[in-house]
Amino acid sequence: MGDQFNDRSYFDKALEQLDRDIVWNQERKSKIQSKVMLTIDREKNKSRLFNSFKYMSSIGVMIALLLFGYNFLSDSMIYNNGDGTANTPGNQTNNSLITGEADNHEEKNENKNENKEIPKLNKSQVTEEELLKELDLRLPAHIPSEASNSPQFIKLVHPDGNVTAEVKYVETKELFFNYVQEEINEDTETVTEKIKNVMYKDEKLEEIEINGFPSYLLLEGDTSSYYSSLHIVIDNHFFTITTHGIGKDEIIKIADSIDFTGL
Distance CA 216, CA 195 (A): 8
Query: Is residue 88, in this structure, part of any structural domain at all?
Result: no
Residue 202: per-residue pLDDT: 82
Residue 207: per-residue pLDDT: 94
Of 80, 112, 139, the residue at which a domain comes to its end is: 80
Residue 164: per-residue pLDDT: 95
Average pLDDT for consecutive 10-residue bins of the chain (263 residues)? 54 64 58 66 65 67 63 44 44 54 47 54 90 93 86 93 94 93 90 90 89 93 83 93 95 96 89
Q: Are residues 130 and 209 in the same domain?
A: yes
Residue 121: per-residue pLDDT: 75
Distance CA 29, CA 183 (A): 105
Strands 152-157 vs 122-126: parallel, antiparallel or unpaired: antiparallel
Q: Are residues 169 and 194 in the same domain?
A: yes
Query: Is residue 142, in this structure, part of any structural domain at all?
Result: yes
Query: Is residue 155, in this structure, part of any structural domain at all?
Result: yes
Residue 247: per-residue pLDDT: 93
Q: CA distances (Å), 37 to each of 27, 29, 40, 41, 148, in order? A: 15, 12, 5, 6, 82
Q: Are residues 151 and 251 in the same domain?
A: yes
Q: Are residues 166 and 229 in the same domain?
A: yes
Q: Are residues 151 and 228 in the same domain?
A: yes
Q: Are residues 164 and 235 in the same domain?
A: yes
The DSSP annotation for the chain comes to: -HHHHHHHHHHHHHHHHHHHHHHHHHHHHHHHHHHHHHHHHHHHHHHHHHHHHHHHHHHHHHHHHHHHHHHHHHHHHHHHTTTSS---TT------HHHHHHHHHHHHHHHTT--PPPPPPEEEEE-HHHHHHHS-----S---TTS-SS-EEEEEE-TTS-EEEEEEEEE-SS-EEEEEEEE-SS-HHHHHHHIIIIITTTS-PEEEEETTEEEEEE-TTSTT-SSEEEEEEETTEEEEEEEES--HHHHHHHHHT---TT-
Q: Are residues 148 and 247 in the same domain?
A: yes
Query: Is residue 90, in this structure, part of any structural domain at all?
Result: no
Residue 160: per-residue pLDDT: 87
Query: Is residue 45, in this structure, part of any structural domain at all?
Result: yes
Query: Is residue 87, in this structure, part of any structural domain at all?
Result: no
Q: Are residues 146 and 73 in the same domain?
A: no
Residue 203: per-residue pLDDT: 83
Q: Are residues 118 and 200 in the same domain?
A: yes
Residue 50: per-residue pLDDT: 64
Q: Amino acid identity of 219?
A: L
Name 233's bridge partners. 238
Q: Are residues 123 and 67 in the same domain?
A: no
Query: Is residue 263, in this structure, part of any structural domain at all?
Result: no
Domain span at 248:
97-256
Query: Is residue 110, in this structure, part of any structural domain at all?
Result: yes
Report how many domains make up the chain: 2
Residue 87: per-residue pLDDT: 43
Are 165 and 98 a contacting pair, CB within 8 Å? Answer: no
Residue 263: per-residue pLDDT: 84
